[in-house]
Structure 1
Amino acid sequence: MLKVLLLSGCIVVFLLLARLVDRVVRDLAIKRSVSLYRVEYINKVTHFALLFCAIVVICLVLGLGYGDVTLFLSSIFAVVGIALFAQWSILSNITASVIIFFGFPYRVGDRIQVLDPDFKMTGVISEITMFHVIIRLDDGNTVTYPNSVMLQRAVLKVDSATPLPPPEEG
């Protein structure tokens, strides 16, 4: 009977946490003017993480030993890690997308300049997706910039009335 109550409590806590996370993400998205597509994506990622934690707690409540649960999880992580190693850029872009959602200081519609050593570009952010940031350049062309690279580069928010600094020579 105690296990049934504990399992029920785990499920209720999972559902309440999922609703709380949904509300926090939605409020943050409204505050930052984020697209509905990105809100749904972030909710899926957070629900998956919460579900993973809930399954671990439920396994422990059901009497599986800590060692058994950690052995099972480490086996899963090893298989998933090997499978994703070849696709490291995909995994890093998905992670960067979550970081950009919560911490990126620029939004869709902002005019930015990406200070890439090879190619300095100036344009307006037209969309931020799961894998890349889409920038409409001043000449009308569109550039898709990977999220993981966007976090590694210096980005200036450019006021349209302020002239841009001249590009560096050499």
Structure 2
Amino acid sequence: MSEYWPAWAREWLDVIVPVAQVLLIVAVAWLLQQLARRLIRRLGRHNLPAEALTVVRRASGFLIYAAAVLLVLERLGVSAGVLWGAFTGFAAVAAVAFFAVWSVLSNIFCTILIFTTRPFRLYERIELLENGEKPGLKGRVTDINLIYTTLQEENGSDASNATTLQIPNSLFFQRVVRRWTGSAMRPLEESTSTNDG
């Protein structure tokens, strides 16, 4: 078919066809993403949690655009074998790195679970039980960050003798947590100043 084209157009045909294919792939990916957003918006009308819809929207966008990037790279001459080799090499390095920082990642994931499942809240009194009836770590939650939760132990009526405990967040999902729901939901300084006055 290229013999029907003028000579000057035949020279550019090797450039024009891949560029047109890439533009077509990008356009189809964009249309698929718009269609997915509309479907997800319709699903949102059926009382589904906003968090679940956000996850579905992001996952669909990632899958659509990842497939588009792979197709574009294939059209530009990058072989699937090279991509697979690069991916498996990266996955092996990522697995080793993941194993090396497992403790940190576990605590970060547990922080997300603490904020979503709310086994306790800031300024509540809790106790992390060892096993059964043994007394555990007890105090008022003063801070929750990505790695650990800070408890302030209450040693009698003197707040100046209080000590702080920093407990890794993953421990809250390995042990039983006792929670006093009647404890005041305000900072410790406020509660001690109202008790003194």
TM-score, normalising length from structure 1?
Answer: 0.59
Is 1:158 paired with 2:172?
A: no
Shift of 1:98: 1.8
| TM superposition shift of 1:75 | 3.0
Where does the alignment leave 5 or more consecutive residues of structure 2 unmatched?
A: 1-22, 156-161, 184-197
How much has 1:95 moved relative to structure 2?
1.7
Which whole-Å CA distance do the structure 2 matches of 1:137 and 1:155 have between them? 15
Specify the alignment match of 2:97 in structure 1. 83
Contact 1:7–1:61 (8 Å) recurs in 2: no
Larger Rg: 2
Corresponding residue SS for 1:108: coil
Matched, 1:144 2:166: yes
Residue matched to 1:121: 137
Question: What does residue range 52-91 of structure 1 map to in structure 2 within 5 Å?
Answer: 53=63, 56-62=66-72, 64=74, 72-91=86-105
Partner of 1:131: 147
Q: Which amino acid in the other structure matches residue 147 of structure 1?
A: N
Instruction: Report the TM-score, using the length of structure 2 for normalisation.
Output: 0.52
> How many pairs align?
136
Local SS of the residue matching 1:107:
coil
Identity of aligned residues (%): 24
Bigger drift between 114-123 and 89-98 goes to: 114-123
- 1:103 aligned to which of 109, 112, 117: 117
Secondary structure at 2:150's aligned position in 1? Answer: strand
State the superposition RMSD in angstroms.
Answer: 3.8
